[in-house]
Amino acid sequence: MSIILITGAATGIGRVTAERLAADGHTVYASMRDLDGRNREHAEEARAHARREHVELRVVELDVTSQDSADAAVATVLREAGQLDVVVHNAGHLYVGYVEAFTAEDIAHLLDVNALGVQRVNRAALPHMRERRSGTLLYIGSTIIVSTPPFLGPYVASKAAFDALAVVT
């Protein structure tokens, strides 16, 4: 079975993926930011799920907007599990509205979370994977860049950057 790190696993696709992979026998590190604050309840729910279902679902602090946080999360996985086999890039953020309503800082934040966050986690994880000559990166993308709905311009731009990183990594 694999050792898997999932970014953005507090809720939604990340949470469901973490629970499913753990149920299938993998050791899953469900990462989320701010474990003592906004995601405290989500972290407790994930830990309770692991106890109740007798699965290897572990919670690790990871804020993809911080290289130090990405480095620390990967170091925790390596210290506890001895290796990292799979990284699932799932963390993401969404803004909705007229494109002219967004400041450059708003768009920079979306790019920071949705694209640069991938690079930070890859910088932390890939040296270990390359040394082992084994590892998988999975990118949870979106079809939104193919058929763009209204009011999502900055989000679409950030997901296009995300997709480009997936192609070149």
Which amino acids are annotated catalytic? 155
- β-sheet with 86-89: strand ranges across: 57-61, 27-32, 3-6, 86-89, 136-139
Of 35, 17, 24, 19, nearest to 2 by C-alpha is: 24
- Say if CB 126 and CB 75 are below 8 A apart: no
Axis crossing angle, helix 40-53 with helix 12-23, rounded to the nearest 10: 20
Quote the tokens at residue 99: 């494109």
Quote the tokens at residue 85: 């086999």
- Eight-state DSSP code of residue 44: H
Q: With b meaning 16 or more CB within 10 Å and e meaning fewer, what string describes 47-64?
A: eebbeeeebbbbbbbbbb
